[in-house]
Each structure stands twice: as structure tokens, then as C-alpha cells.
């Protein structure tokens, strides 16, 4: 099943104040006009796969966010799609959408969103997308819906 629905660019903030998008100093001076802004590394695109299920893609790199069986978060591809003369054949991966890239999206009572892996569970419990206070991903098996580190507030970016 493919991805459908209109893409929505978002910048998410965790309830623990860990931003998915780092702060960048403003570009340009009075004498040199700024160039058109490129997407920031933390901007993500959330697309609907079906009702209640989303795919999260980094706008800057084009990789889909995925979770493996151990609950580790990773990008769905690990190397550029364009072959390089110096790249070994094992590094020529595509930025692909796979079943590991599907997350169930739930709006919690406090208005924040949680994202759980659709495919994988840990001892019968869902594994949630979670960031620690330094902005690093937490392993899915150690997360619960009630943890503040799993609560995200998507914000539209233009």
C-alpha cells in the first residue's frame, strides 16, 4: 500500500522542549540579500497512508523515518541514490518507503500527538517515537504513551 494524501510540512516540538529543528542564525546582511531558504534539517513531512496511519519523511534528506524490530529509529535509506565512482556497490541504497516507516498517529487528551510503530511491538505494547532531553531518539521498547518524551506538537511550516 502506497502513500496517499496531501503532504504537510511540519516542525515538531517535544513536550520536553527538544526541537526536531535546530535554531539557525539569520542569513544575510544589509548589503547582501539573503538567498531563498533551504528546508531546515529538522523539518519533516507527514503524509497519510490510511486513516490513523502516517509516514514521516525528512524534507532535507528525503529519508523516511522508520523503526526496526529492536525499537531503534533510522532513516529508510543509508546512502545517496546517485551512484558515485568512489562508492562501493553496497552503499548504493534508495530512499524507499517500507512497512517499517508506518506509524499510528494519535492525538492525546492534552492536544499533543504520539506516534507508535504500526509494525512492531515490545512485549505486546506499542513502541513510540520518542526523544530524550538532548533531542536524541530513545529506544522504542522503553517508551510509553504517558511519557512526556513521546508527546509532539506538530507546527505547520510555510
Which is nearest to 118 in space by CA: 55, 36, 42, 40?
Answer: 55
Query: pLDDT tens for residues 19-78?
Result: 343 333 333 334 444 545 555 667 888 889 999 999 998 888 888 899 999 999 888 864
* pLDDT reported for residue 78: 47
Residue 26 lies in a domain: no
Structural domains of the chain, count: 1
pLDDT tens column, 102-156: 999 999 999 999 999 999 999 999 999 998 888 888 888 889 998 888 998 888 8
**What cell does 70 get?**
529492536
* pLDDT of 2 higher than 70: no
Tens digit of each residue's pLDDT (9 = 90 or more) over 4-18: 565 665 555 544 443
What is the grid cell recorded at 8?
Answer: 504537510
Residues 111 and 105 sit within 8 Å (Cβ to Cβ):
no
Taking alpha carbons only, the member of 65, 150, 140, 67 closest to residue 112 is: 150
CA-CA distance, 149 to 63, in Å (whole number)?
A: 22
Inside any domain, residue 106:
yes
Instruction: Provide the pLDDT for residue 8.
Output: 60
96: in domain: yes
Determine, yes or no, domain membership for 3.
no
Q: What is the CATH number of the domain that holds 137?
A: 2.80.10.50
Amino acid at each position: 500500500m502506497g502513500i496517499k494524501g496531501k503532504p504537510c510540512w511540519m516542525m515538531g516540538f517535544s513536550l520536553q522542549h527538544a526541537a526536531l529543528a535546530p535554531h539557525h542564525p539569520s542569513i544575510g546582511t544589509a548589503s547582501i540579500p539573503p538567498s531563498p531558504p533551504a528546508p531546515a534539517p529538522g523539518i519533516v513531512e507527514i503524509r497519510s497512508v490510511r486513516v490513523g496511519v502516517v509516514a514521516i519523511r525528512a524534507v532535507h534528506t528525503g529519508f523516511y523515518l522508520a523503526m526496526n524490530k529492536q525499537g531503534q529509529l533510522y532513516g529508510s535509506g543509508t546512502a545517496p541514490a546517485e551512484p558515485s565512482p568512489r562508492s562501493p556497490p553496497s552503499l548504493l541504497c534508495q530512499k524507499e518507503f517500507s512497512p517499517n516507516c508506518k506509524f499510528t498517529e494519535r492525538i492525546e487528551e492534552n492536544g499533543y500527538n504520539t506516534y507508535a510503530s504500526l509494525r512492531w511491538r515490545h512485549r505486546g505494547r506499542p513502541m513510540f517515537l520518542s526523544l530524550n532531553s538532548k533531542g536524541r531518539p530513545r529506544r522504542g521498547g522503553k517508551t510509553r504513551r504517558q511519557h512526556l518524551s513521546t508527546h509532539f506538537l506538530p507546527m505547520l511550516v510555510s
